[in-house]
Amino acid sequence: MIPFGASPNPVDLFGTPRRPDFFCIGSEKAGTTWLWHSMLQHPEIGVPQTKELRYFNGLPSLDLAHFRALKTFLEDTRNAPKRPQFLERVATEMRLLYGGEDAYLRIFGQLTGRVVGELTPQYCLLSRDRIKAMKALSPDARIIYMLRDPTDRIIAGAKMVCLREGDTMSDAAILRHAKNPIQERLSNTAWHLEKFESVFGKERIHVALFDDIKTRPNALLAEICAFLGVPPHDIPRETLSKPVNKGSDFRPSPEVQKTLYRRLRRVYLELEPRFPQQVATWSARYQ
């Protein structure tokens, strides 16, 4: 029996510390949930059952604001969701908040894949100092970035906020939420890539196209596997093509789409030298 007051640190009871081999850094509404579901089915890739650990969001000191499930649970324990997936997120976030870096590394120590990593789309917003902290913790890690048409992404982000806040879908609501600085920052793809390349180097970053999820999902996943150094896994195309975390079917008017495209025009210009064909395809949608 453990004497009163001498209970063990729960962080020390689970897993052996292991550094992540990769990070998927975003962006939001660009296919990271699809990639997480696909990786869960791959026998040689280990990812946590809690998709977004958000560990680096809160450095150098962690606080409750960065752990949404735990915050929801503590604010209203009686009415908080009791789904197993939600409760697992609460438990994971409690470990991170309580145990810090050691707890974070032990989460990967419980995974059995040849390569292990995590997917947190908000990592694309990290400052260079926090990206340097990520590299210091895992210097050989590879970075995956899901690239989506910036205008299409900001519309999807605005729709997600509408659903979360109970707003009626409308052109006005989409414009209001899309003009929120956080949504614009999440669509600033060139900025995301430049920051991570300056710390990790271009050779350690793989850009995957969101559009390929629909048109060539198996080839897309095989390319990501090759980047991570694992063989492709045979997942039926119909499984990989199935929408994951699908949002509202509402589509704003062409006028709203063109307004947002013009607002993000600088992002397209910065991406064009690197992805000329893709940028031309995207831009044609709004002209």
Q: What is the CATH number of the domain that holds 129?
A: 3.40.50.300
Examine residue 211 and state whether it is found in any structural domain, yes or no.
Answer: yes
Tell me the residue range of the domain where 36 lies: 18-47+111-284
Q: For the whole prediction, is pTM greater than 0.95?
A: no
Distance, in Å, from the CA atom of 133 to the CA atom of 178, rounded to the nearest integer, reads: 30
- Answer whether 211's CB lies under 8 Å from 152's CB: no
Examine residue 82 and state whether it is found in any structural domain, yes or no.
Answer: no
Examine residue 204 and state whether it is found in any structural domain, yes or no.
Answer: yes
Examine residue 7 and state whether it is found in any structural domain, yes or no.
Answer: no
Among the listed residues 19, 17, 20, the one whose alpha carbon sits nearest the alpha carbon of residue 99? 17
Q: How far is CA 9 from CA 3, 20, 98, in A?
A: 14, 23, 9
Total domains present in the chain: 1
Question: pLDDT grade, residue 61 (50/70/90)?
Answer: low
Question: pLDDT grade, residue 268 (50/70/90)?
Answer: very high
Examine residue 80 and state whether it is found in any structural domain, yes or no.
Answer: no
Examine residue 77 and state whether it is found in any structural domain, yes or no.
Answer: no
User: Would you give the distance in Å from CA 123 to the centre of its chain?
Assistant: 7
Q: Is 145 helix (H, G, I), strand (E, B) or coil?
A: strand
Examine residue 29 and state whether it is found in any structural domain, yes or no.
Answer: yes
Residue 137's φ and ψ, nearest 5 degrees, are -75, -35
Question: pLDDT grade, residue 239 (50/70/90)?
Answer: confident
Examine residue 36 and state whether it is found in any structural domain, yes or no.
Answer: yes
Residue count of the chain: 287
Q: Is 119 helix (H, G, I), strand (E, B) or coil?
A: strand
